[in-house]
Amino acid sequence: MAILFPDTAGEPTDGSFRHTENGQTWIWNGTSWESSGGTLDSYILPTASTTVLGGVKVDGTSVTISNGVISSSGGGGGGGGVTLGSRQDFTAGTSAAHADGTSEGITITAYKAYALLSMTVSDQAWVTLYTTSAARTADNSRVITQDPAPNAGIIADVVTTTSGSETVNFAPGLIGYNGDATPSTTVFATVRNRSGSTQTISVSLKCIQLEA
């Protein structure tokens, strides 16, 4: 922290001209200011606020200053640099015995909260994503022509119509999350096979992480 010393022109040089700032006393010797000892060793840098000047100790590696801007290489947290993650794909599938016209519940490991950009389904299916296992169970009896009830805990409801793999892009992207009391990275899903044959139906989600 810079110290604003007073003008020394015409001041005595016998040690009687002094300046005290932040608990430290400085003595003018006619050539330079010398510390008198004081309480400098016990000085604590104050926390910066709108009325108090504080400071930041910069190590040049994890914390740097460039053109007056302070940056941190650590992720998250206000006031520092934020490391953004790239979009990622997460995939899971039903069993090989998944018969046409039947449903299977699966879980996909992704993020606690995420932006859902797209879903790729390996063959014709009706795929629904949920916030909790309980929401999935409560939705079991809904038919394909029925809209979900309000506040049903449904993140996405997709029906593919292509024989073979089909990608559904969400624009704008959807916000999904795990709604358990203790959030986890589990995405709950139900897959209804509509391919016309017994087979594994795989589901791939393209997501961006929104929660650590």
**Are both 107 and 186 inside the same structural domain?**
yes
**Are both 153 and 186 inside the same structural domain?**
yes
Element (H, E) at 108: strand 103-109
Task: Report the pLDDT averaged over residues 173-194.
Answer: 98
Query: What is the reported pLDDT for 75?
Result: 54
pTM over the 0.75 mark: no
Domain holding 51, by residue range, is 1-55
Task: Report the pLDDT averaged over residues 103-119.
Answer: 98
Confidence of residue 194 (pLDDT cuts 50, 70, 90): very high
DSSP secondary structure letter of residue 153: -
Task: Report the pLDDT averaged over residues 127-143.
Answer: 97
Give the model confidence (pLDDT) of 95-106 as tens digits. Answer: 999 999 999 999
**Are both 48 and 109 inside the same structural domain?**
no
Confidence of residue 68 (pLDDT cuts 50, 70, 90): low
**Are both 140 and 186 inside the same structural domain?**
yes
Q: Are 202 and 90 in contact (CB under 8 A)?
A: no
**Are both 101 and 152 inside the same structural domain?**
yes
Confidence of residue 40 (pLDDT cuts 50, 70, 90): very low
Between the alpha carbon of residue 105 and those of residues 12, 66, 140, the distances in Å are 88, 52, 10
Structure tokens at 74: 């650590």
Query: What is the reported pLDDT for 157?
Result: 97
**Least confident piece of the model among 23-27, 124-128, 205-209:** 23-27
**Are both 77 and 157 inside the same structural domain?**
no
> Which of 46, 207, 199 minimizes the C-alpha distance to 118?
207
| CATH number, domain containing residue 189 | 2.60.120
Highest mean pLDDT among 35-39, 63-67, 90-94: 90-94
What's the mean pLDDT when you consider all of the chain?
Answer: 87
| CA separation for the pair 18, 178 (Å, rounded) | 64
Between the alpha carbon of residue 170 and those of residues 15, 110, 143, 206, the distances in Å are 75, 17, 22, 10
Task: Report the pLDDT averaged over residues 174-202.
Answer: 98
CB atoms within 10 A of CB 190: 22
**Are both 135 and 74 inside the same structural domain?**
no
| CA separation for the pair 167, 148 (Å, rounded) | 22
User: Where do runs of H (alpha helix) occur along the chain?
Assistant: 133-138
Count: domains in the chain: 3
86 exposed, middle or buried (CB, 10 Å; 0-12, 13-18, 19+)? exposed
**Are both 74 and 8 inside the same structural domain?**
no
Task: Report the pLDDT averaged over residues 52-77.
Answer: 67
**Are both 203 and 100 inside the same structural domain?**
yes
- Residue of higher predicted confidence among 49 and 103: 103
Query: What is the reported pLDDT for 189?
Result: 98
Phi, psi of 136 (to 5 degrees): -65, -45
Strand order of the β-sheet with 33-35 is: 18-21, 24-28, 33-35
Task: Report the pLDDT averaged over residues 155-173.
Answer: 96
**Are both 73 and 132 inside the same structural domain?**
no
Task: Report the pLDDT averaged over residues 202-209.
Answer: 98
- Which SS3 state, helix, strand or coil, does residue 13 take? coil
Share of the chain above pLDDT 90, in %: 59
CB atoms within 10 A of CB 157: 17
Asked if residue 183 has a cis previous peptide bond (ω within 30° of 0), the answer is: no
- Residue of higher predicted confidence among 43 and 121: 121
**Are both 70 and 8 inside the same structural domain?**
no
DSSP secondary structure letter of residue 30: S
**Are both 111 and 196 inside the same structural domain?**
yes
Element (H, E) at 205: strand 202-209
